[in-house]
Structure 1
Amino acid sequence: MAFLLRGALLALLLLVQGCATTRAPDAAPTVVLVSIDGLPAAVPGSGRMPALDGIAREGVQAAWLQPSYPTLTFPNHYTLATGLRPDRHGIVNNNINDPVLGRYVSKQASARDGRWYGGEPIWATLQRQGGIAATMFWPGSEAEIAGQRPRYWTPFDGSLPVDARVDQLLAWLDLPPAQRPRLLTLYMEQYDVASHASGMHSLQAVQALSTIDAGLARLRDGLHARGLDDRVDLIVLSDHGMADVPAANLVFLDDLLPADAMQVESVGQMAWLTAKPGREAEVERALVRRHDHFECWRKADAPPAWHFGRNPRIPPIICQADDGWRVWLHRYPVSTVLKGEHGFAPEDVGMRAAFTAVGPSFRNGVRLPAFDNVDVYALLARLLRITPAANDGDIAPLLPALKDSR
């Protein structure tokens, strides 16, 4: 009997020890989200960015990422962060007028006022559920939104080199576990800036791609040196694409009606305006229809696929230029050089954004069909294993890319 008792106790001890040493379920991975402003969907896999090509080849690449309307930097970056359309989150343009808040101008002090921002960005979702986030220049991250700021954030500084930005991300990953972020975002605007100045295929734009790609290589090398390859999901995407616009491709609103009949908020790829009091019928009669190289709508009648036109910050009439054109006013200076631009309709091929990803959560060598950029928030929440806030996205298009697609 004593022998049997000792045997039973020994078996129980071994069982307990076995349970104690059994590998616990994997912890949620760290997520690094990188945005290359203006990068067209055609660049990954083209040979122009070898480090980015490696991410696409080893992991996941989408045919393209469908941007939201309008195809501008701040509206789409905040859509990526919230999963909400610009019409819902309120950042409907890079520069906005609001009857209560006044004037919003991206990258100025007004952009740090959280009252402008609706919805809940992913860094707030994570921190509300006990995680830590770090953001490097991501549009919207300098404001307190939904009661949260990222634990670590930096004010935008366009002069900070790509290498220094990458090194800051790696430094955050070197923090002690209790202080280390689980979500890190990085924004790189160099290609967008060079394309606007000189064209999307200019030497300056090509050099910007090379500089950014070297930064991606530095980031991946840094992750590998820290033994984080199987613990970090790396997503590299863009907010929209880019298209070249010849200097001569201009159409003028004030060729169609007197300039004093309307208050124009913006011109360019989009023209937004309000009729002066008493001249509403005149303005609508002259503008609300198809024209050569552009079209105008009452905001409530904008194309349904744009999910746009309800927000009170949008003026009554919106005009959209065709790809490669600008809508202008005679009183504004006219460029004499080719420039790269975005802000065209999201269905235009040139506006297609890029999406690539690699890491422990992703399958290898997956090619996804195009999907909508509102779905990125749902993906981030799933990777971080947190409950998403209300959003317009859907995880379903991304499930084929995930190792755990349940």
Structure 2
Amino acid sequence: MKMRFASLLSLGALLAGSLLSGCATTPQDAQDNNDTGATPVILVSLDGFRTEYLSRGLTPHIAAIAQNGISTTAMHPSFPSITFPNHYTLVTGLRPDHHGIVGNTMYDPSHPGVKFTMASKESYWWDQAEPIWVTAKKQGLKVATMFWPGSESEIHGVRPDDYAAFDKSMSDDQRVDKLLSWFDVPAKDRPRFSTLYFNTTDTNGHHFGPNSPQVNAALQDVDEGVSRLMAGLESRHIKADVIVVADHGMSEIGDNHYIALDKIVPAKSFDFVTGGAYAGVNARPGQTAILEKALLQKHDHMQCWRKGEIPERLHYGTNPRVPAYICLAEPGWVVLKTKPDAQHEALKGDHGYDPASPDMNALFVASGPDFPAGKVLAPFDNVDVYPLIMQLLKVQAQPNDGTLAPFVPLLTMNPT
């Protein structure tokens, strides 16, 4: 897929014709917002919060953001619909195949034998793209990241002005308070762009399933976290554009819905790179024909492809880091190397499936001075969040796969 330039000049004429002056930032707003007239943008991720969760009536504060701003009936994740690839997509506007974080675990042929995990911080893993905080800082803006994949790494020689190393023991309240503390500085030193991350919905979704009481409790917890953020901004007289998103949704895993690859193909024929809702494998030397004969035939509940033959709609398979063969399970099933151990048998939910699956639809709500109230957008892809944020920041975007088109009728800021 050819990348599009979603620069601040793109679609400018359309934006100019669609301004909603009644929602424009007032002089008092400008005074409250750091005495600069610049509206902070805060990107909040609720990991694993599928769109349907919003309809359960358990998240009144998140629902209030939608009512006071904009939302969508569905934001489609990028393939694979897992955490690290999609968090990096949200802040680069690139499909995983283009930004290089093609999985939560992966290998790079240019660094033989080195495995990427969610703890990897080496710059070379992240340097295939430039996230918002790097671009914004290069263009003179203050930036801060309260947890976000890649934000602990030096990318293109740049780090956020303020950031925190991921600490899963840190409570949601502590995360919010840490982010808000970065605003308790002189106006000129406050971040124009910042991020915040909550993981409870994803954790409970995996352990108990998306329809469990534990997920409902997690929804209430993250809603309280969002409420604490909004109250903290209000008490500081900061009018921010707050965008709350998820990286993906969550599907229920059926009982015994596991596909063991070593029961389909000889275990000696492949190296297992990653597994779950999708699996990635490489052929061992001299084993390609044996592996392909068994793997590329028709299977129940799973389809496998050579990386160069993955359906175009998934936008995946050209990056050297993508394994040679990809197997995608149907929702509710999981692909593993061998029969599940106790840890995998205990899992009740997963993600990573085809982004077209309704269960994978991710949350998107946003409110603030630059958004009208109560507007619901048609479904769009998560690559489109990046050009929106760059437009809000009035920062020149990098080449990306997104478009401002879903937001053109609604944006209230003056085009640059």
| Same fold at TM > 0.5 | yes
The answer to whether residue 382 in structure 2 is matched with residue 382 in structure 1 is no
Aligned ranges 1:346-361 → 2 under 5 Å? 346-361=355-370
Pick one of 103, 106, 111 that aligns with 2:114. 103
Q: Name the aligned partner's letter for residue 251 of structure 2.
A: A
Paired residue for 2:377?
A: 368
| Cα distance change of structure 1 residues 123 and 357 upon mapping to structure 2, 3 Å threshold | same
Paired residue for 1:61?
A: 71
What secondary structure does 2:67 align onto?
Answer: helix
Tell me, in whole angstroms, the C-alpha distance in 1 between the residues paired with 2:289 and 2:141.
54
Tell me, in whole angstroms, the C-alpha distance in 1 between the residues paired with 2:43 and 2:212.
27
Tell me, in whole angstroms, the C-alpha distance in 2 between the residues paired with 1:195 and 1:333.
19
Q: Name the aligned partner's letter for residue 396 of structure 2.
A: T
Aligned ranges 1:242-253 → 2 under 5 Å? 242-253=250-261
Paired residue for 2:263?
A: 255
What secondary structure does 2:182 align onto?
Answer: helix
Kindly state the Cα deviation for residue 322 of structure 1 after the two structures are TM-superposed: 0.4
Pick one of 303, 308, 330 that aligns with 1:300. 308
Pick one of 330, 338, 351 that aligns with 2:338. 330
Kindly state the Cα deviation for residue 45 of structure 1 after the two structures are TM-superposed: 4.1
Kindly state the Cα deviation for residue 105 of structure 1 after the two structures are TM-superposed: 3.8
Paired residue for 1:163?
A: 173
What secondary structure does 2:56 align onto?
Answer: coil
Paired residue for 2:212?
A: 202
Paired residue for 1:12?
A: none
Pick one of 115, 123, 140 that aligns with 1:114. 123
Which whole-Å deviations, capped at 9, do the CAs of 1:109-166 have from their partners, x for residues lacking one? xx21111111110001110000010001111100011221110000000111111111
For the Cα contact (< 8 Å) 1:246–1:337, is it kept in 2?
A: no
Paired residue for 2:293?
A: 285
The answer to whether residue 56 in structure 2 is matched with residue 46 in structure 1 is yes
Tell me, in whole angstroms, the C-alpha distance in 2 between the residues paired with 1:382 and 1:93.
28
Kindly state the Cα deviation for residue 336 of structure 1 after the two structures are TM-superposed: 3.6
Tell me, in whole angstroms, the C-alpha distance in 1 between the residues paired with 2:116 and 2:338.
24
| Rg (Cα) greater in structure | 1
For the Cα contact (< 8 Å) 1:31–1:233, is it kept in 2?
A: yes
Paired residue for 1:392?
A: 401
Tell me, in whole angstroms, the C-alpha distance in 1 between the residues paired with 2:139 and 2:98.
23
What secondary structure does 1:274 align onto?
Answer: strand
Kindly state the Cα deviation for residue 225 of structure 1 after the two structures are TM-superposed: 1.4
For the Cα contact (< 8 Å) 1:173–1:180, is it kept in 2?
A: yes
For the Cα contact (< 8 Å) 1:247–1:338, is it kept in 2?
A: no
Moved more, 31-40 or 175-184: 175-184
Tell me the percent identity.
43
Name the TM-score, length of structure 2 as normaliser: 0.88
Tell me, in whole angstroms, the C-alpha distance in 1 between the residues paired with 2:197 and 2:27.
36
Tell me, in whole angstroms, the C-alpha distance in 1 between the residues paired with 2:408 and 2:414.
5
Name the TM-score, length of structure 1 as normaliser: 0.90
Paired residue for 1:86?
A: 96
Kindly state the Cα deviation for residue 405 of structure 1 after the two structures are TM-superposed: 7.4
Kindly state the Cα deviation for residue 340 of structure 1 after the two structures are TM-superposed: 1.1
Tell me, in whole angstroms, the C-alpha distance in 1 between the residues paired with 2:115 and 2:151.
15
Paired residue for 1:10?
A: none
Larger relative contact order, structure 1 or 2 (CA cutoff 8 Å, min sep 6): 2
Tell me, in whole angstroms, the C-alpha distance in 1 between the residues paired with 2:335 and 2:345.
15
Kindly state the Cα deviation for residue 25 of structure 1 after the two structures are TM-superposed: 11
Paired residue for 1:241?
A: 249
Which whole-Å deviations, capped at 9, do the CAs of 1:72-126 have from their partners, x for residues lacking one? 1000000101111110111000011123334344432xx2111111111000111
The answer to whether residue 411 in structure 2 is matched with residue 402 in structure 1 is yes
Q: Name the aligned partner's letter for residue 387 of structure 2.
A: A
Tell me, in whole angstroms, the C-alpha distance in 2 between the residues paired with 1:24 and 1:39.
35
Q: What is the RMSD computed on CA atoms of the aligned residues?
A: 1.9
| Cα distance change of structure 1 residues 112 and 338 upon mapping to structure 2, 3 Å threshold | closer
* Structure 2: runs of 5 or more not aligned: 1-25, 31-36
